[in-house]
Amino acid sequence: MKRITQLSLLAILIAGLSGFQLIKTTLNITVRNDLGNIVEGATVRLFENEDDYSKEENAAAEGTTDAKGVVKFKDLKAIAYFVLVEKDDLNNFGGGEQTGKLEAKRINKVTIVIQ
């Protein structure tokens, strides 16, 4: 039993020293309508620069909101992203939505309102 405990502690120490990260840079986006209600099934696209955002090409990531109006993007670069959100005739076009610079190895959260 003592041997198993020692091996477990050694494994934890090696993982900690090797730079093993449990949390990758993550962005959780909640989408709401102009009344503040969550929006399920909205398409969310992230762009790394304003040119791609304006042309709506070369999305860095794309996802769809779940029943709670949330979409999660994992393993992102720690940069600011431009965000386009669409659901039927609702969108955030013209809003120039941009996240702040994401914190590396953290879960970052943003709420986007579509009209």
pTM: 0.81
Give 4-58 pLDDT, tens digit per residue.
655 565 556 565 555 555 789 999 999 999 999 999 999 999 999 999 999 999 9
**Mean pLDDT taken over the chain:** 88
List 85's β-bridge partners, or say none: 44
Give 40-52 pLDDT, tens digit per residue.
999 999 999 999 9
Evaluate if residue 70 carries a pLDDT over 70: yes
Give the chain as a 3 state SS string: CHHHHHHHHHHHHHHHHCCCCCCCCEEEEEEEECCCCECCCCEEEEECCHHHHHHCCCCCEEEECCCCCEEEECCCCCCCCEEEEEECCEECCCCCCECCCCCCCCEEEEEEEEC
Domain 23-114, CATH among 3.40.50.970, 3.30.830.10, 2.60.40.10, 3.40.1160.10: 2.60.40.10
- Which residue has better confidence, 95 or 69? 69
Domain extents in the chain: 23-114
